[in-house]
Amino acid sequence: MDDTTHANRLKEWYANFIPLFREEFSKLSKEERKHITSWHDYHSPCQIEVFWLKRPNWQLIVETHLENRPDGQVVVNGPYDNENFQDEVSSVLNESRWKIQTDSGKSQYSDAVAEQLHRFVFSAKNALFMDWQKLNGFTQILNAKNYRITHFHGNMADFNYRAYLQHIIRETKQQIEEYNAKPVSPQTKSPKIEYPKGFATYFYPPIIVDGNPKRSPEEIFQGVKSTNISTFDKDLFEIMFDDILVLVERDGFIGVCTDVKKKSLDILNTIMMISILDGLEATVVREHELSDIEYIPESKKITSRSYSYNSPRNKLFDGIPDKTMEFETRYVEKENIKKIFDKASKIFLNKSLAEDLRILLDATTHMKDSEFSQSFIESWKIIEKHLKQKWSQKSPNKTKFPTSETMITDLKDELKENFSIFTDLRKIRNNIMHGPKDVTKQESQKCYDISKEFVLKNSNFNS
């Protein structure tokens, strides 16, 4: 079958599927229609444009709802040979139909598609030595107003479009039945299904839960991962942090179901520090590393995810590699990762302890990055807090805290043999803040070790 025949077969598939979808969609209840459009929306006007790579046989599918393009238009670009793919798609994206603003007004459609194509090509490069013919189904999905972009491993035309549609409808009905079966008081139950927003990130360094760490010599040589997680088999478990739902997937993706960014960061970084203390290396989550998600509360499913900052952590959106430049992917048993999250959810309720742990995480990450001055300052925050607590106990009638120098002097008897250590650390801290002092690794490590000891000693962390 030549390329033109392949392309025409895919066009025919959509030409049959879209009218059938609309026909069956019209038969659904209002609630079912509301639910189904979060994943599958082919209302008029609808256009399909496919960017098709031959090896591996993958497709990037762009669904749009643009008034200036014909309804039902299907454009198939490819299938292209690998050596021509990037030139061909670059030429397509320069065509006028892509040079219009998205609804956000911040970029053109060509920019949004180009960003997804970049990830698509990156994933394809990693698949050179994989048996990619065994991969089948959707991987990454980007939902936005008036357009949706999906990465598909395989050829959509190989699906029975009738069976595929029935699967969509059956899954939708099942999810709604499960939701309606839950005992909800008449006062709080609402027929409206909302898809709220949250924030998420990947565990880093990367992990695979319940994967197979054994690799053949060939796989080690090729430097590719030996575990591939199906899109439909990623869900691992869910857990509550206070009143906030957290969704965990097998590839280390953690979704925090709140639209409050600081709260999300607090939860994620509490998890990361608990992980370190339990022996599983992790790094602090920075605000720019958060991705936006939407989720269905009833089914506890993440429906869309996107990110804008290209950090090592966010590159995991393109797939979990066997190795990064700095770390190897770790294979973790579900029981162990569940224990970390259980402990973190309990610690999170202790606001003071959780805050100390997050400060300690900052100090830990700076230390690993050889940023000794920054690590020292973060560690000193914990020490100073500890000194204030001890000073308050000794001087309960005094409401205003003196300088750290005065506190250390006042606590000389309590500090005993550590008095000189705290005095030296305070001098280093002052030199950092008021002069060009370079902190040595040994000085930073000393401050870090003491702060860590304070956090663990003055808590029930290990209980």
Confirm whether 463 is domain-assigned: no
Q: How far apart are CA 139 and CA 150, in angstroms?
A: 7
Pairing status of strand 244-249 against strand 291-296: unpaired
pLDDT at 230: 44
Confirm whether 32 is domain-assigned: yes
Q: Residues of 115-132 as b/e, b for ≥16 C-beta within 10 angstroms?
A: bbbebbbebbebbeebeb
Confirm whether 334 is domain-assigned: yes
pLDDT at 232: 44
For the chain, the average pLDDT equals: 82
**pLDDT, tens only, 183-220:** 655 555 445 455 789 999 999 988 888 866 555 555 44
pLDDT at 140: 59
| Residues 345, 365 within the same domain | no
Confirm whether 187 is domain-assigned: no
Pairing status of strand 330-332 against strand 207-209: parallel
Confirm whether 330 is domain-assigned: yes
| Residues 381, 304 within the same domain | no
Find the helix or strand (DSSP H, E) in which 53 lies: strand 47-53
pLDDT at 406: 73
Domains held by the chain: number: 3
Q: Which two tokens stand for residue 356?
A: 């100390």
Residue 74 neighbours by CB under 8 Å, 6+ apart: 10, 11, 14, 15, 47, 48, 49, 50
| Residues 130, 201 within the same domain | no
Q: What is the DSSP letter of 108?
A: B
pLDDT at 34: 82
Q: How far apart are CA 263 and CA 270, in angstroms?
A: 11
pLDDT at 226: 44
Domain limits for position 428? 354-457
Find the helix or strand (DSSP H, E) in which 267 lies: helix 261-277
pLDDT at 463: 53
Confirm whether 189 is domain-assigned: no
| Residues 22, 163 within the same domain | yes
| Residues 391, 363 within the same domain | yes
| Residues 33, 169 within the same domain | yes
Measured in Å, how far apart are the chain's first and last C-alpha atoms?
66
Residue 245 pairs in a beta bridge with 240
pLDDT at 215: 54
pLDDT at 462: 59
| Residues 341, 369 within the same domain | no
| Residues 63, 158 within the same domain | yes
Residue listed under structure tokens 């397509």: 92
Confirm whether 394 is domain-assigned: yes
Residue 107 neighbours by CB under 8 Å, 6+ apart: 101
Decide which of 314, 331, 349 is a domain's last residue.
349
| Residues 207, 264 within the same domain | yes
CATH value at residue 437: 1.20.120
| Residues 381, 424 within the same domain | yes
Confirm whether 98 is domain-assigned: yes
| Residues 310, 267 within the same domain | yes
pLDDT at 36: 80
pLDDT at 247: 95
Decide which of 153, 181, 209 is a domain's last residue.
181
| Residues 230, 327 within the same domain | yes
Decide which of 148, 181, 214 is a domain's last residue.
181
- Average pLDDT, 10 consecutive residues per value, the chain (463 residues): 90 96 91 79 93 91 92 95 91 91 79 87 75 57 79 89 89 79 57 75 89 55 47 76 94 93 96 94 93 87 78 74 62 93 94 93 93 90 83 71 70 66 80 78 90 79 57
